[in-house]
Amino acid sequence: MNYTPGVPIGNNGAPMTSQVAPIPAVNRYSSENASASSVISLTSITSAIEIAAVGGPAVVRWIKTSDTQASVVSAASGANFDHVIPTGTFRRFVVPIEVNPTTNNATGSLGTNPANGLYQRVAYKSIGTASVLATEY
């Protein structure tokens, strides 16, 4: 499937990897020195996110629609994260597919996210005293 914006291409025809998204953000979030995880609901046009870890590492977890206790835990006991972002870096993620879009009731909905059965929620949290910045694309 090809449902998310690609990386920019330089005038020499080579992909510009490790670059920020080549489009403006749809939404922006920040969590400064929070001890609890933040859960965001992605817009219907979101197909990629960027998470930046400032002052300490961060963890990210994709939250299923059926998950009623949505959070991300980084502690050794009960850890449930999908990704770790090192201190002072950012990572761009393509929103993964949660459900098969051919059987998803949202297939006819407007927007890239529901039409492709993508995850609609994500949780993030700093490990220790730090900040996490998130953007949707």
The per-residue pLDDT for 22 is 76
User: Residue 108: what pLDDT?
Assistant: 53
For position 107, what pLDDT does the model report?
47
**For the chain, which residues make up each domain, given as ranges?**
33-95+120-136
Q: What gap in Å lies between CA 134 and CA 1, rounded to an integer?
A: 24
CA distance 38 to 130: 13
CA 55 centroid distance within chain:
19
Would you give per-residue pLDDT tens digits along the chain (137 residues)?
Answer: 678 777 778 899 888 877 777 789 999 999 998 878 999 999 999 999 999 999 999 999 999 999 987 889 888 778 999 999 999 999 999 999 999 876 545 445 568 888 889 999 999 999 988 999 999 99
